[in-house]
Structures are given as C-alpha cells and as structure tokens.
Amino acid sequence: MASISTLGIGSGLDLASILDSLQTSEKAALTPISTQQSSYTAKLSAYGTLKSALTTFQTANTTLNNADLFSATKTTSSSTAFSATTAAGAVAGKYSISVTQLAAAQTLTSAVQTSNTTALATAASTITIQNAKGDAAVNVSIPAASSSLTGIRDAINKADAGVTASIIKTGDGSYRLSLTSAETGTDNAVTLSVSGDSTLQSMLNYDGTSGSNMTQSVEAKNAELTVNNVAIENSSNTISDALEGITLNLSDVTTGNQTLTITSDTSKASSAISAWVNAYNTLQDNFASLTKYTAVDVGTTTQDSSNGALLGDSTLRTIQSQLKTMLTNAQSSSTYKSLAQIGVTSDPTTGELELDDDKLTTALTDDADGVKEMIIGDGKTTGIATTIATNMTSWLSSTGILQAATDGVSKTLNNLTDQYNTASTRIDNTIARYKTQFTALDVLISKLNSTSSYLTSQFSTTSSSTSSSSS
C-alpha cells in the first residue's frame, strides 16, 4: 500500500492532504475524551492531596486528644543531688527530701595474674553465679583451653549472668579480672562458686566473707533517703514508686533536707493547642487551594486553568462543613463549651482559626480540667478533639467517603480510557479504509491517464498517416 507521502503521485490529485484533513477531523472526536481524562486525573491527584492534608491534621489532633496534657506538672529541685520527672497522677506541692546514701553496684576483683591470654586451668570448670535475691543461679562453662582471663571474661559476658566482666591492666604483666553487678542494690550482689579446676577455684570463689578469694572492691548498697521525714530504702537511684506520678533521680547525697517543688505545667497543653490551630489552618489552606475559583470574563465559556481540581466537590465540602461544626462541645459539663472561650476564634471569611495566647494561658491556669472537659470530653463520644478523631478515622478509612470518592473517579477514568481506546481504534480503521480507497483511486486514475495518453498518441499517429496519403 502506498505511503501517505506518495499518495496522489499517480493521479496528480492532492490525496495526501485530503487524507490528512480527514484524519484531523476524525481525531477531533478524541479531544472531549482527553479533556475529561485530564480533568479526572487532576481530581484523582487532588484527592491524594486532600488525604495527605487530613492525615497531617489527624496527627496534630491525636496529640491534642490526650488528657494527660491538662494535668501536666513540672519540677524544681533546690539541690543538684537529685531531680525528678512527673507523669499522670503527680500532685502539685512541696516535698522535703534528704539523701544519705546512693545505691551502688557490687564489684569483685581477682588477684593479679601475669597474663590475660594464658590458660589458667588444666581441666574444664563451671562458675556458678548466684545473686542475693535468690534468682536461679547461672552456670558458666569454662573449657580448660579457654580459661585465660580473656576467655573467662567472654564466657561470663555471653552468659548474661547479671554481672559484667572486664579485665583491668594494673601494670606491665599485671592483670586482674573485675566483675560488676549489672544493677545496683544489695539484692543484686552475687556470690561465686567454682567446680572443676582447683586453680580457678582458688582464684574465683567468693562467698561474701573476708576469707573469699575474690576481693569486694565496691560494696553493693541501697539508696537511703527520707521524703517528708519518711525513711525510704531502694535498690536503685531511680525511684518511681515512692511518690505517685513522680520519679526521683538521685545523683549525690544531700546536705540536710532539700526541697522538691511540683507545680502545674500549662505549657504542654498550650503548645498542643497552638500546634493544632496551625495544623487546622494548614488544612483550610489546602481546602482553599483545591477549591480555588477564578471568575471568567462575560461571554467566555472556558474556565480558568488555575481553578482547583475539587472546585464544587461534595466530598471536600462535606468534610469542611462538618469540621467547622465540631469546634464546639455543647455537651461539656464545664463552663467551656466552645474554643472561642479559651481564645481560639474563627475568621468568618477564611475559616481559619486565630489564637489569643494570653486568653488561652489564663483559661488553662484558672481551670485546666474545664478546658480538658471541653476538648477531650469523655474520650469516647464527647469532646472536640475526640469527636474530630472519630470522624477523621471514618473519613480516612478504607470504606470512608474519601475512598469512595477516589474509587468513583478511578472507575470513571477507566471508563474514559476504554472509550478513548475504542474511538481511537475506530478512527484508525476509518483512516485505513480511506487510505485504501484513495490508493485504489490513485491507481485507477493513473491507469486512465495512461490509457488517455495512449489513445491520444494513437489518434495523432492515425491522423498524420491519413494526411500523408491524401497528399
């Protein structure tokens, strides 16, 4: 079949241009489909942007939806010998604290050995390590070939026996094995007994008496302190069970009684509310961008190309409208029913929130529980953040309105693709048929032209011959 570029050469007709014009005309039918495809592709992408924006706001809302924020406290210590951290349940007030002894971990040290790599035993041995609180003893096997200080150290550390072994070089040719309890306190002190090789027995046995072969270089001790003149003893320097919601961290002994002050801390709730407001406004900015509308001149039918892909979209409008109605909690049992009462107001034009820091601080200082009741509610069905959390989960779920809208657009795009492919195939077949017909026409006219030329030539010859005979 002739190519388009050679079509019409035989007939002299401009068949190639005619076929090009027909093809352009036929393909114009694809333009409306392509336009719809572009529109729905942009809409699908916009739903992705909307989902991302909602997820970001959901994170900020989850942070705010925490009752502990509104009962947070902070600590101040009059001494560097101790500090404290607080959790839920901590009661604001002052505590008198005196630390007379820090908890310490036991350390046992062997006699000096001249090498840390030479095997010390001639027979396999077992070191039994037992702690004072009566946990199951740990048996550490020491083959004769691995009975150097290095081998013993590695075997003990691998056994996870509640002690850490190390080698101390005290001088050239002088090495000592050191065992330190993994935890502080007298309950974590250990005794050692060796069975097997007599050399290891004489070096490592320790039963807690002065006649033992290992030396106790650091004695295991419990922390000793008083809180409001009540004596407390603890195996650790981190004490979390003496005062409810308060963890004491001891680092030194004190000079007499010192003061630990616990006060309410509104900064955590304030920061969470501020971050939530910013996240809400960012979400509103996304709403505005996705629904942007630019008016067109009178008489113009084409919409501005900068319009948002979700302009007039019912799914976005539903979410935006419902969010706005959730900024109040009429069911709150406190005096606070709306965010405006704590300094969070809404701009009627943009829908964005504005925060009055001073008013918020005053509300949290005067009645943090009341603010919590409005924002958190019962944590199930009431409360601004709780209600938003429930709806967010619904909107973003695999069966939510956002996924339903996304699936609908995807289905439409698939249908448009099928339409485009069907129309494109039809057009290609039509153009191929035209081309076949034009090629046949070209060949036919070429043959007719050849026949015409031949006949003309024959008539001319015959005429010439007739004229010559007459003469």
Q: Which of 54, 58, 61 is closest to 290 using CA atoms?
A: 54
Return the sign of the alpha-carbon dihedral for residues 449, 452, 458, 461. Answer: negative
pLDDT bin (cut points 50, 70, 90) of residue 6 is low
pLDDT bin (cut points 50, 70, 90) of residue 314 is very high
Q: Is the pLDDT score of 295 beyond 90?
A: no
pLDDT bin (cut points 50, 70, 90) of residue 307 is confident
> Which alpha helices (DSSP H) does 302-376 contain, by range?
314-325, 357-375
Residue 442 confidence (pLDDT): 66
Tokens linked to 467: 């004229």
Residue 13 confidence (pLDDT): 63
Side chain identity, residue 241: D
Query: Mean pLDDT highest for which of 108-122, 282-296, 435-449?
Result: 108-122
% of the chain surpassing 90 pLDDT: 63
Q: Specify the pTM.
A: 0.67
Q: Is the pLDDT score of 1 beyond 90?
A: no
Residue 303, Cα to own-chain centre: how many angstroms? 38
Residue 460 confidence (pLDDT): 74
**Most distant CA pair in the chain, distance:** 162
Residue 422 confidence (pLDDT): 80
pLDDT bin (cut points 50, 70, 90) of residue 469 is low
Contact 360, 342 (CB under 8 A): yes
State the residue for tokens 């050692």. 192
Instruction: For 51-60, write each residue's pLDDT tens digit.
Output: 999 999 999 9
Q: Which of 269, 273, 281, 271 is closest to 56 using CA atoms?
A: 281
Residue 350 confidence (pLDDT): 87
Residue 338 CB-half CA count within 13 A: 10
Residue 299 confidence (pLDDT): 52
The partner residues of 224 in beta bridges, in order of sequence, read 101, 233
Q: How far apart are CA 159 and CA 146, in angstroms?
A: 15
- Would residue 55 be called left, alpha or beta, if left means φ above 0 and alpha means ψ between -120 and 50 degrees? alpha
Residue of 6 and 132 predicted with greater confidence: 132
Lowest mean pLDDT among 147-151, 213-217, 386-390: 213-217
Residue 284, Cα to own-chain centre: how many angstroms? 22
Side chain identity, residue 349: T
Give every strand in the sheet of 73-77, ordered side by side.
Answer: 73-77, 258-264, 93-101, 223-227, 230-234
Q: Is the pLDDT score of 459 beyond 90?
A: no
The pLDDT of 88-115, averaged and rounded, is 93
Side chain identity, residue 111: A
CA distances from 412 to 132, 309, 399, 416 (A): 74, 15, 18, 6
Q: Is the pLDDT score of 9 beyond 60?
A: no
Residue 11 confidence (pLDDT): 55
Residue 163 confidence (pLDDT): 97
Q: How far apart are CA 382 and CA 165, in angstroms?
A: 57
% of the chain surpassing 70 pLDDT: 90
Q: How far apart are CA 119 and CA 174, in angstroms?
A: 15
Instruction: For 329-378, write each residue's pLDDT tens digit.
Output: 888 899 999 999 999 999 988 889 999 999 999 999 999 999 999 999 99
Contact 125, 196 (CB under 8 A): yes
CA distances from 73 to 238, 251, 262, 264, 270 (A): 19, 22, 6, 4, 13
As a whole number, the mean pLDDT across the chain is 88
Residue 223 confidence (pLDDT): 98
The pLDDT of 95-113, averaged and rounded, is 96
Q: How far apart are CA 443 and CA 435, in angstroms?
A: 12
Residue 232 confidence (pLDDT): 97
Return the sign of the alpha-carbon dihedral for residues 87, 90, 96, 102. Answer: negative
Q: Which of 169, 122, 168 is closest to 147 using CA atoms?
A: 122
Q: Is the pLDDT score of 4 beyond 90?
A: no
pLDDT bin (cut points 50, 70, 90) of residue 171 is very high
The pLDDT of 134-157, averaged and rounded, is 96
User: Per residue in 168-198, is it b (16+ CB within 10 Å) or e — as a string?
Assistant: eeeeeeebbbbbbbeebbbebbbbbbbebbe
